C-alpha cells in the first residue's frame, strides 16, 4: 500500500538506509534473544551492526565478561540468522540510568520551518505520521 508511512520513508534514500538498518538490528536482536543464555537474555541487547561487527550493550561488567567469553559461539549463531558476523564488541551500558532533571527552554521554530511543517503535514494522507506533524506544527505555531 503506497499510502503507508513506511512508503514515505522508503522514498528517500537516506531514510531508506536507516529503515533497512533498523530492520537488520531488529532481526539481530530477536536472534540474540533466542540464542543468548537465559540468565543473560534480559541483561544485554544488540546495539549496532557495522561491517560485520555486532555491538552488544551489557547492563554490567559481569554480564559483559560472560558475553565476551561466549562471543565466538554467539557470533557463529548470529551468522546463521542471516547477518555476517566477524566480531562481537561488548560494551557496558546500563539500561536503567539514574534520572536527572535537566531544565531546558524550548527554542521557537522560524516562520519558514513552521510553514514547511504545516505544508508537509497537509500533503500526507491521514494517519499517525500526519497527526504527529500536525501536533508539532501546532506547538510551533502557538510558541511564536
Contact between 79 and 49 under an 8 Å Cβ cutoff? The reply is no
Contact between 64 and 92 under an 8 Å Cβ cutoff? The reply is yes
Q: Which helix (H) or strand (E) is 141 found in, with range?
A: helix 128-143
Instruction: Could you please state the CATH topology (level 3) that the domain comprising 5-92 is classified under.
Output: GMP Synthetase; Chain A, domain 3 (3.30.300)
Write the pLDDT tens digit of every residue in 12-57. 677 778 888 899 999 999 999 999 999 898 899 999 999 999 999 9
Please compute Rg for the chain using Cα positions: 21
d(CA 4, CA 128): 10
pLDDT range class, residue 1, cuts 50, 70, 90: very low
Q: For residue 107, which phi and psi values (nearest 5 degrees)?
A: -100, 125
Stretch 93-97: mean pLDDT: 75
Amino acid at each position: 500500500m503506497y499510502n503507508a508511512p513506511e512508503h514515505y520513508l522508503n522514498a528517500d534514500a537516506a531514510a531508506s538506509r536507516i529503515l533497512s538498518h533498523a530492520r537488520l538490528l531488529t532481526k539481530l536482536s530477536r536472534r540474540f534473544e533466542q540464542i543468548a543464555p537465559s540468565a543473560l537474555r534480559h541483561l544485554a541487547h544488540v546495539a549496532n551492526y557495522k561491517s560485520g561487527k555486532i555491538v552488544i550493550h551489557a547492563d554490567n561488567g559481569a554480564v559483559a565478561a560472560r558475553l565476551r567469553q561466549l562471543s565466538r559461539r554467539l557470533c557463529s549463531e548470529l551468522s546463521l540468522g542471516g547477518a555476517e558476523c566477524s566480531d562481537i564488541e561488548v560494551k557496558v551500558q546500563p539500561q536503567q540510568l539514574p534520572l536527572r532533571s535537566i531544565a531546558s527552554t524550548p527554542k521557537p521554530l522560524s516562520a519558514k520551518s513552521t510553514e514547511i511543517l504545516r505544508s508537509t503535514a497537509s500533503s500526507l494522507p491521514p494517519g499517525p505520521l500526519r497527526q504527529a506533524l500536525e501536533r508539532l506544527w501546532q506547538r510551533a505555531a502557538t510558541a511564536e
